[in-house]
Amino acid sequence: MRIHFTGVKGSGMSSLAQIYKQKGHSITGSDVEESFFTDKLLYKAGIEVLPFHEKNVQQVDIVCASAAYGSNHVEIKAANERNIPVLTYPMMLGELTKEYESILITGTHGKTTTTGLIGSLLMNADMDPTIVVGSYIETLNNNARYGRGNYLVVEACEYKRHFLNYTGKVMVVTNIDFDHPDYFKDIRDTFDAFQECANRLPEDGLLVVCGDNLARNLRANCQMVTYGLSQENDVYAVKKGMGKFAVYAFGKYMGDMVTPLIGEHNIQNALAMVCLGLYYDIQFDILQETLSGYAGVKRRLELKGHLKHHLVYDDYAHHPTEIRVTLHAVKENYPNANVVSIFQPHTYSRTKRLLHEFAQSFQAADWVVLTDIFASEREKEKLVDILELVEETKKHHPRVTYIPKSEIIPWLEQMSEQMEDHIFLTMGAGDIYKEGEKILQKMLLSS
């Protein structure tokens, strides 16, 4: 089959394109000229990326279109005129889930890390899974993996109820929190979406939920297992110092695990993996090896490098809960360091709706730097100004500074000369990570 991917550089789209290519289909793709981390992955997979043009879809059987583009896009319009089926990314991925015993990894936070962990576990257990994930996984050296086994591990996004397109036997819910205010009305609407997805599980399926948050209230017509830090869960952990914890399952001590991942939220993510290991009867030593050897995910508490006597980290955190747990994790791991949080809010709608929550999420930081809001292409109206967030955050934190994005590099240079033993942590779902990379590259060239 000839499939064309419109917007192929997207993290999910590029992952799906690679899978269908390895399944034997003829794949083409198109996108903007701007460089993305997926460029190298697509080149390595032998997928040519063309400029957008109506001729790209003239000789294809299906067009898979990114959610970023609507019916007026030149390629989508041309496909519709030729009666060529146009499927969105969730629809196309939904078709793929029907071909496997699919494991859906969802939740407001932690999806990517948990998908990577569970995918790695099934690989180490010789189950040869296919994996579709929303970011670069170090263990995979990719954001996708095509396997010959019967298992598909999918990062399943809740936005616009996309995950209702997927057919899964197993569903993992890391947490339920209010996000995507441009779509969900409130936390009740958000919860209902997850419940709708859980209702679709078969009677012989499995629902795995983190019992430390609202996800514990989900119900399903199949087996249900809870995990978390609370001992009320079916599977829980007891911390035994930095990077080590004991695992208990259904009242039985399973053994100790060592994790290279920072933060209690990553212990919870690891416990989700343990639940899948128990379900598929995987030996505990394979679970231990999978976690201890897990190299992590791009832009998830990623150590970017050293800046003189300082460390530069980056994280995808773009929600108050994510900011709070990320800063807490860094402070716990580096108790004597001064943590400088450099946050770029993502979308006007999220910033406006969660303004007060954002303002109170930086308690663990020693210094809060806020920079210009990264707007979504969908947003036509500037709903809030960054200075509103600055003023609100000052009510809860003694050291808050606004720095325009264009001035972050010189500010970092100045601060690195004046201070010692600091951690500079860039956070946000936009392009703030590039500032950390730029300053490190600049220091390298000048040394």
Q: Can you say which residues are annotated as belonging to the binding site for ATP? A: 107-113
Is residue 140 within 8 A of residue 295, CB to CB? The reply is: no
Is residue 345 within 8 A of residue 318, CB to CB? The reply is: yes
DSSP 8-state symbol, 159 = G
Pick from 393, 354, 349: which is nearest to 375 by CA? 349
Task: Give a three-class secondary structure readout of the chain.
Answer: CEEEEECCCCHHHHHHHHHHHHCCCEEEEECCCCCCCHHHHHHHCCCCEECCCHHHHCCCCEEEECCCCCCCCHHHHHHHHCCCCEEEHHHHHHHHHCCCEEEEEECCCCHHHHHHHHHHHHHHCCCCCEEEEEEEECCCCEEEECCCCCEEEEECCCHHHHHHHCCCCEEEECCCCCCCCCCCCCHHHHHHHHHHHHHCCCCCCEEEEECCCHHHHCCCCCEEEEEECCCCCCEEEEECCCCEEEEEECCEEEEEEECCCCCHHHHHHHHHHHHHHHHCCCCHHHHHHHHHCCCCECCCCEEEEEECCEEEEEECCCCHHHHHHHHHHHHHHCCCCEEEEEECCECHHHHHHCHHHHHCCCCCCCEEEECCCECCCCCCCCCCCHHHHHHHHHCCCCCEEECCHHHHHHHHHHHHHHCCCEEEEEECCCCCHHHHHHHHHHHHHHC
Binding residues, by number, are 107-113
Pick from 101, 105, 59: which is nearest to 84 by CA? 59
Work out the number of other CB atoms within 10 angstroms of the CB of residue 25.
Answer: 14
What tokens does 154 get? 């999918």
